[in-house]
Amino acid sequence: MAMGNAAYADSRVAPRDEVHYRARAFGPDARALSLLVVNISAQGLMARYDHDLPVGARLRVTLPVVGVVVAEVRWSHLGRIGCELDSAIGVAEYYELLSVLVKGR
């Protein structure tokens, strides 16, 4: 399994909110992926995924409210991946997204 810089994961700008959301995504080879998003912020997310994804892989993740977001895998370890979004989600949209994700728990 590929591991990115562990310091990166610990030096986040924004705290993450805990969620439990099954998301549909598409990997770098356009293959459909099923992710379980376990925490999220306006700049990134952590998800569980049963297979290896290399650091640097680009994903298109479908989320409620905001639609498809493009994310880069920053680290991958033991069935978990940390991703940085290409574009931060706006504050109003993020709180609306969060309310949908938390309500669905």
Structural domains of the chain, ranges and CATH numbers in brackets? 6-103 (2.40.10.220)
Does residue 20 surpass a pLDDT of 50?
A: yes
Task: Tell me what pLDDT residue 14 has.
Answer: 75
Half-sphere exposure of 58 (CA within 13 A, CB side): 7
For the whole prediction, is pTM greater than 0.75? yes
Lowest mean pLDDT among 2-11, 41-50, 56-65: 2-11
Helix (H) or strand (E) holding 102: helix 91-103
Distance CA 47, CA 69 (A): 14
Q: In sequence order, what E strands does the chain have?
A: 17-26, 32-40, 44-48, 58-63, 67-77, 80-85
Residue 71: C-alpha distances to residues 50, 68, 103, 104, 105 (Å): 18, 10, 24, 23, 23
